[in-house]
Structure 1
Amino acid sequence: MATELKQTGKPRFKLTNDGSVIPTHDGLSNVVSGMGTNRDRRTYNRFTITSMNDYLEMEAAYNENWIAAAVVDNPVEDATREWRHFTGKIASAIQEAEKKYEIQERTQEAFTWAGVYGGAGLLMVTDQDFDQPLKVEAITKGSLKRFVCLDRTMISPSAYNYSDPTAENYMRADRYRINGGTQDVHHSHFILAPGSPLPPRLRLLNNGWDDSILRRCMEDLKDSVAAKSGVASLIQEANIDVISRENLATDLSSGDMDQDIINRFMNFGLLKSMFRLALLDKNEEFDRKQVSFGGLGEILSVLMEWTAGAAKQPMTRLFGVQSKGLGDSGEGDARSYFNRIRGDQEKKYRKFLNRIDEVMIRSTLGEMPADTNYEFNPLDIPSEMEVKDRNLAEAQTDDLRLQQKVVPRSAVAKKLRDSGQYVIDDKFIKQIEDDERAEAAGEFRFNIGETETTHPGAVNPPPTHSVADD
């Protein structure tokens, strides 16, 4: 029970049984216009949470509507299309392992279904028991068998972690059970692909899963699709024929002339369509009404903008249309979108892939090298001129660092080898490292055509002095 407190000139409040005080409206009111009072319709506006787990509607939208599919697919495709590259001696071995286990395909699959349902992930099938925590340090060569993608409709939490905030799975499932089976799966065997974030309380009500990316755009999607369908229906009725017939209401009310009237005007429509001939009775009048479509294009454009905003994608990416506006090429929108995708790669995809690499690399090499590292490739494919400009800038930077003597020549050679631009073997790099060690010890090695003054590691000898110079 709540007691309402009224004060003249002040906002009204309600005092609840637990002692909390809540306002009944905002502080600005006008009794003459009704603003801020019970007469103001705006005071009854209220956000409500719609159904969060209507899987059938989300599946139908994703499968039947190309815009709904693009809302989910585009960010995942852009984040994983160019993929990543490892550096170091183990790069080629890891890339072969990625192809063997189809890491790129499984990652795309997991994040796609997480966007549709709000939850999905990869089950790591190893030689360890599912009902026990996965011991990463115990992974040996050949322990990993495969990855299996499971969405939230295929696997259900059977136990939750509500009491240990220090664990990485706090407020999420502690154990899962595959639907239709009896096997318990510890959460460490399941790599979770996130959807849209939810407040902790709603995540708790949602069985530890995230929200669907598609569900958050559903209202705007429905408005856009309904408007497009309505315009398409109007086009079919661009011209409406109107025939005035004497005593039509009386004939229809009699009940025995309905079919005759229907046949009469169906034949009229057939004759007009086939022979462009209109036959009318002397007492009948014919008129044609034309429907105006002015302003419909602007309405559709606004709805498309709302849908693109809900999907967090630029119009050029979601609908494939050019940006409108004088001097607007869409590059700014594309840059902002790619910056968001790059942020998702570092925040979501890297965390997801690091869990995969802990098991995959150990299973491939038998150990986890300390220098294992990777970077995501550029999101867009650069042009030939952009590649040349970038290579020139990097070459100039490397040359400047060499002149400043802040990096050795062997570091530049290793960088070029790892980039794959040149075929540089370990023997050549070892030779450069031997030369650098000799130079550091004062033993200079010269190749054919080099002199002591032109060698980058040499020190110019002091000038000679003679009596004639005096």
Structure 2
Amino acid sequence: MAENTADKKRGKKPHFKLTNDGSVITTFDGLSNVITGMGTTRDRRSYNRFTITQLNDYLEMEAAYFDNWIARAVVDHPVEDATREWRTFMGKEAEKIHEAEKLFGLQDITQGAFTWSGVYGGAGVLLITDQDLGKPLELQKIKKGSLKRLVHLDRTMISPSAYNYSDPTSENYMRAETYRINGGTQHVHHSHFIQAPGAPLPPRLRLLNSGWDDSLLRRCVEDLKDSVAAKSGIASLILEANVDVITRKNLGTDLSSDDMDQELINRFINFGMLKSIHRLALMDSDETFDRKPISFGGLGEILSVLMEWTAGAAKQPMTRLFGVQSKGLGDSGEGDTRNYYNRIRGDQEMKYRKFLNQIDEVLIRSTLGEMPDDTDYEFNPLDIPTDTEVKDRNLAEAQTDDLRLQQKVVPRSAIVRKLKESGQYVIDDKFLKRVEEDERAEAAGEFRFSLGETEKTDPGADDTPPTDPAADD
């Protein structure tokens, strides 16, 4: 049974058919035309084939990130937008956790880890604690002060030394089991090293890539090269906007003479110098002068298309990557920005939250001595709202809080604590404690009131006793 190897190379799906005599005929799906050659070996398109390029060309990625501002924007913008407004913790110990974040520089550490992961395809944060790095990290043994430092390392500084190929129940399946610090002998168990994900790879390619992900910059470097080359080519053409052409009689004969080459060169060097200094062209009667201008029509459109391809490869709108205003009647770019922010929000929930949760397990325990059950956080809004948007949002939140209080879904202390943590109002701990005491008293059926009040204590009321108008008389 003979098969069409050209069809197999084109990736067409084979179909097997059994004939009456028992032989098997192999056919391939796809449109073909033997007259025009479309879909056959005569079709040049049939030889198009995607191939896997080099995954870890560190030098090229470093050079692109170091020298080209577009390459830096491809990597930096998503990380900056995902970490710029950071996050807000809820719970009683939110302020202490926030102070611990600032103490260890967690925001900067996270930004650095995801940046170098975007350049190299692999980076992470090493947790320096009072436990042995070579042994598994035991969270139950983390106590106050156990965390000493956070260090972000990229794949050029730390390398996997053993892999987990056989245990799919482990969280590091198809990933590194242990690492080794490059240039040293220190072995690190994977539980101490929190890996920042890069661009995803199929499992087989990830194994070939030493357990790391793909570089975000590598995935759009070819389109970026085209844009940079087009811009450089246009800049070079500007320097040759006009080409001077001189016609000389018997030029070919003179050039064939060995003793005339230098004289011709000197002749036209002097011609160019005179034209530049005096703006005069002194020529022999047998010579003619002509100027050929170069047309730049259509170059701008070509460059714009290449910029759009680069923006698409980087998954960023033109307004964010290049700072170019959106084209089109009535197009303000808000739709592109909204889609981009939705993508960043997805990265926060899928990548950053998983990354930060692993660090929080150690950071919070080292700060508080335990992991409170009410510890949770939300990422802050990506864009900076206007004053009108802030007022509308505050009004909507106030109406929602009032509705939840009427439905008795949340206690008053939860609303007061949320307002205290948001920083909108100056609320001290004494006021919050008094509200919580009032709630406990009400739950126990006690009647609590302050001096001068005839109703139950209202946490939002003024603490100053009301004055009696008759006393002034």
TM-score normalised to the size of structure 2?
Answer: 0.89
**1:306 aligned residue:** 309
2:372 partner SS? coil
Q: 1:299 is matched by which residue type in structure 2? A: I
Q: Which deviates further from its counterpart, 277-286 or 363-372? A: 363-372
Shift of 1:23: 8.1
1:145 partner SS? strand
**2:43 aligned residue:** 40
**1:84 aligned residue:** 87
Gaps of 5+ in 1: 16-20, 457-470
Shift of 1:369: 1.6
**1:334 aligned residue:** 337
Structure 2 residue corresponding to 1:242, chosen from 234, 242, 245: 245
Checking the alignment, whether the CA contact within 8 Å between 1:4 and 1:12 is kept in structure 2 is no
Shift of 1:441: 5.8
Give the distance between the partners of 1:46 and 1:165, measured in 2 at CA: 34
**2:394 aligned residue:** 391
2:3 partner SS? strand
Q: Report the CA distance shift for 1:32/1:207 in structure 2 as closer, same or farther (over 3 A).
A: same
Q: Which deviates further from its counterpart, 327-336 or 355-364? A: 355-364
**2:143 aligned residue:** 140
**1:4 aligned residue:** 3
Q: 1:105 is matched by which residue type in structure 2? A: D
Give the distance between the partners of 1:261 and 1:172, measured in 2 at CA: 70
Q: Which deviates further from its counterpart, 300-309 or 399-408? A: 399-408
Q: Any idea what the Cα deviations from partners look like across 1:194-226, whole Å, max 9, x if unmatched?
A: 110000110111111111000000110011001
**1:114 aligned residue:** 117
Checking the alignment, whether the CA contact within 8 Å between 1:245 and 1:283 is kept in structure 2 is yes
Q: Report the CA distance shift for 1:454/1:350 in structure 2 as closer, same or farther (over 3 A).
A: closer
**2:172 aligned residue:** 169
1:375 partner SS? strand
Checking the alignment, whether the CA contact within 8 Å between 1:25 and 1:43 is kept in structure 2 is no
Give the distance between the partners of 1:94 and 1:331, measured in 2 at CA: 35
Checking the alignment, whether the CA contact within 8 Å between 2:164 and 2:173 is kept in structure 1 is yes
Shift of 1:361: 1.5
Checking the alignment, whether the CA contact within 8 Å between 1:88 and 1:418 is kept in structure 2 is no
Give the distance between the partners of 2:391 and 2:344, measured in 1 at CA: 25
Structure 1 residue corresponding to 2:265, chosen from 262, 266, 278: 262
**1:18 aligned residue:** none
Q: Report the CA distance shift for 1:162/1:239 in structure 2 as closer, same or farther (over 3 A).
A: same
Q: 1:276 is matched by which residue type in structure 2? A: R
Structure 1 residue corresponding to 2:192, chosen from 189, 193, 198: 189
Q: Which deviates further from its counterpart, 130-139 or 61-70? A: 130-139
Q: Report the CA distance shift for 1:233/1:379 in structure 2 as closer, same or farther (over 3 A).
A: same
Shift of 1:274: 1.6
Shift of 1:315: 0.3
> Is it true that 1:158 corresponds to 2:154 in the alignment?
no
Q: 2:393 is matched by which residue type in structure 1? A: R
1:34 partner SS? coil
1:412 partner SS? helix
Give the distance between the partners of 1:453 and 1:155, measured in 2 at CA: 63
Q: Report the CA distance shift for 1:170/1:406 in structure 2 as closer, same or farther (over 3 A).
A: closer
Q: Any idea what the Cα deviations from partners look like across 1:289-315, whole Å, max 9, x if unmatched?
A: 111111111101100000000000000
Give the distance between the partners of 1:213 and 1:405, measured in 2 at CA: 48
**1:367 aligned residue:** 370
Q: Report the CA distance shift for 1:239/1:449 in structure 2 as closer, same or farther (over 3 A).
A: farther
Shift of 1:374: 1.3
Shift of 1:400: 2.9
**1:410 aligned residue:** 413
Checking the alignment, whether the CA contact within 8 Å between 2:450 and 2:457 is kept in structure 1 is no
TM-score normalised to the size of structure 1?
Answer: 0.89
1:371 partner SS? coil
Checking the alignment, whether the CA contact within 8 Å between 2:449 and 2:456 is kept in structure 1 is no
Shift of 1:418: 2.1
Checking the alignment, whether the CA contact within 8 Å between 1:25 and 1:36 is kept in structure 2 is no
